[in-house]
Structures are given as structure tokens and as C-alpha cells.
Amino acid sequence: MIDDPYESYGYLEPGELAEFVLAPEFDRVPRYEAELTADQQQRADRLLSENIVISLHDHPVRFPDDMRHTPEYNRTGRQHTAFRGLASSRMTVVFDNMMDGTACVTGNAPWRWSDIITDLGMRQADLAHQSEVAVVRTVADIHRVHTEGKVGLVFGLEAATPIENELDRLDVLYGLGLRQIGIAYSDANALGCGLNESFDGGLSAFGRRAIQRMNALGLAIDVSHSSNRTGIETCEASERPVFMTHAGAKGVWDTPRMKSDDVLRAVAESGGVIGISAAPHTTLSHEHPRHTILSVMDHFRYCVDLVGIEHVAFGPDTLYGDHVGLHTVFGHLLKLGAAAPGGPAFDKVEYVDGLENPTENFGNICGWLVSEGFSDKEIAAVLGGNILRALESIWV
């Protein structure tokens, strides 16, 4: 850990920065107790040190300790990067999707172009004033931060909604540092359908043109929140591998948020990677209906068996703060569909034990993989090697 890390927006004078009591970066909830032998822990530590470790989807920022203050906090345009937490996370790179569906900086609805640009600019202005966390834009950058022992952030969006029908806005976002973008969130947009739509119209003609531009630019494409048909058609239309950065398998837990086998296969057939999510009350399983790391790993095993371990990784979708509270505050906008009428029953939790925040995630993931007998090669692949391989075909 850095002894005295930079504090977000520390370049501002006292009184210039709105003050909020932010969630702690450590020990907000009891730490997960993994039952590893000394040899297993030593092996897990070695694998985390030797390999490039990539989270395909997280929000490595601190939210207000009282999540009800988040709308006011986000209106400042300044989310605070969790520098201490990242320094202890064992991650090499995090795909950071910023405020996304909570980016209501200037209004009461997300996905406004000006809000996204504000978010992207503010975060990078902050990062420019310190040296331990770097913005990643190329594969070479990933190798560089790994060699230097830093943490890299890849900026992305969960939906291309802010581009509206302006194709050139993809170029603008790319020029401002964005390297990953989703097709649609829960609601449909000009590109295609989201997972919340009752009618699945799939990818639009504009969406197909947008995918061509994304491929040409070197923007990684994400179909996590897209409808099934949109996801499949995106994989068919893209000339480069497609990511499902944070999701789970409908074959394990049959809810709208989970993905059907045909979509999971389509991502793998594109050469892409499925990131297993741990957002509260999403990746549950019948064997483990109380959401913990064990539920999440049921989805991991299922996807590995379905498409092969070379197409699976992790996108935990965690943050620093009360994630369950966030879903409560922004439920009307996020429409995550964790539960549905007639869907499987589950035990509600206050947090996902073992995968609660970006600091603890990969230590516990690697420990589980070691305890379950996965080989060094397999563990290196799912910790980051699979994602790195795909990025070598996506980024220019």
C-alpha cells in the first residue's frame, strides 16, 4: 500500500470541493474468511504477483457512506477514485465504467452527452495529478503498468446511448480516452434493444454502422445489458472479439439480467470473453441462493463448461460503498431485473460476501481457484490472460 497516497481532487483549494462523508476503502463489512492452507495462500499470492490481473468491469470509486446522498454527490461531476483501495487490490487493470446509469450531473435522467463528457474529463483531470494510477489506452500500456507495479484504468461506458444518432461521437469519445462501450443498457436506444424491453427488435441499421466504426476505431464492444437478439447480432456484425463484461448465466439463475446459452456462445465464437459479475442479487444460484462468492463461482463453472475456460474471466461490478443501497436509490433508472414475478426465490443480503469491493475481489477469486484445483495456466488465463488476448485483436 502507498504510505501517503494522493487524495482525489487534492489540487483544489480548501472550500472549492463539495464535502461528503465517503464510504471507507477498507473493512466496510467483515472480511471474507477463505479456508486456505498456508501452501494454497502462498500459491495464490504468487499467481497474483506474476500475472496480469484484469477486472473487465468495476467502479473503483468511493460513494457517499449514506448512499442516499449519491445523487447530490454525482451532481458535482466528481467521483473520487479509491487510490488506497486500488493500491492494495492486486489488480493490474480495471475497466472503469464511471457513473454510467447514475450520471445525472445536470438533470434527472442518465446518459446525457454533456454529463458523460464531464465525467470522463473530471476523472482524468484528477488522475493527471498523481502517478500511481494510470489511464490505459493500449495493450502496451497494460504491460507497462504491470512492469511498474501501478494500477491502470480503462475508461468505458455500459451503453452507447449518449451518442444518440451521431456516429462521429464515437470518435470523440475515443479521442478523449474511452476504450470500451456497450451497445444498450436496460432500455432500447438508437443502436439496439436493452434487456428491459418486452419486444426484442435486435440491432438497428444504425447499430450496425456504429459497430463498424467501433471496430475501425479500436473500441471494445460490450453486450452485458443488451437484449439477447441484440447481443447475438452484435457478435455476428463485429469483425473483432466482443465482450460481455459483467453478467451471468440464465442456465444457472433464470432472471432477465442473466444471459442465455446462445448469447454466451455467440460471445465466445466472436473470440470474446465473458466477465462473471457479482452485483448484489444478480448472479445467484439454486445451490447458493444467498449471494456470496460461491454463487458467483457457480456461474463461472457453468460458463467454463459451456464455452471453454479461454473465454471466461471476471467483471465483478463492485464499488466502494453500499451497492445494495445504490440499487435502491437508482432502481427506477437502472432497472436491473434481478428479480421478476414468478422468478426463483432468494435470500436478500446486505453485501456479497467475498466479492464486496474492488480491493478484495481478486485475492478471493484467486484463492478459490487455487482451492478448487485449477492449474497455474488456467488461473493466469481467467485472471487476465483471456482479456489481454482479446484486446490484442480489438485495440489498435
Give the HSE-up count for residue 136: Cα atoms under 13 Å, Cβ half-sphere: 28
**Local confidence band at 340 (pLDDT 50, 70, 90 cut-offs):** low
The average confidence (pLDDT) of the chain is 94
Domain residue spans of the chain: 38-394
Rounded Cα–Cα distance for residues 14 and 83 (Å): 20
pLDDT digits (tens, 9 = 90+) for 373-391: 999 999 999 999 999 999 9
Rounded Cα–Cα distance for residues 39 and 36 (Å): 8
Can you give the pLDDT at residue 101? Answer: 83
pLDDT digits (tens, 9 = 90+) for 230-280: 999 999 999 999 999 999 999 999 998 899 999 999 999 999 999 999 999
Instruction: Give mean pLDDT, residues 129-144.
Output: 97
pLDDT digits (tens, 9 = 90+) for 296-315: 999 999 999 999 999 999 99
- SS3 of 181-228: the string is EECCCCCCCCCECECCCCCCCCECHHHHHHHHHHHHHCCEEECCCECH
Bigger pLDDT: 340 vs 21: 21
Position 85: which residue type?
G
Rounded Cα–Cα distance for residues 189 and 169 (Å): 15
Can you give the pLDDT at residue 325? Answer: 93
Q: Is the pLDDT of residue 338 over 50?
A: no
- What CATH number matches the domain at 38-394, 1.10.150.530, 3.20.20.140, 1.10.287.3510, 3.30.1300.10? 3.20.20.140
Q: Is the pLDDT of residue 284 over 90?
A: yes
> SS3 of 170, please?
helix
How, if at all, do strands 273-276 and 312-314 pair?
A: parallel
Give yes or no for a contact between 263 and 294, defined as CB atoms under 8 angstroms apart: no
pTM: predicted TM-score of the whole model, two decimal places = 0.96
Rounded Cα–Cα distance for residues 396 and 394 (Å): 7
Q: Is the pLDDT of residue 22 over 80?
A: yes
Q: Is the pLDDT of residue 2 over 90?
A: no
pLDDT digits (tens, 9 = 90+) for 144-187: 999 999 999 999 999 999 999 999 999 999 999 999 999 999 89
Can you give the pLDDT at residue 344? Answer: 80
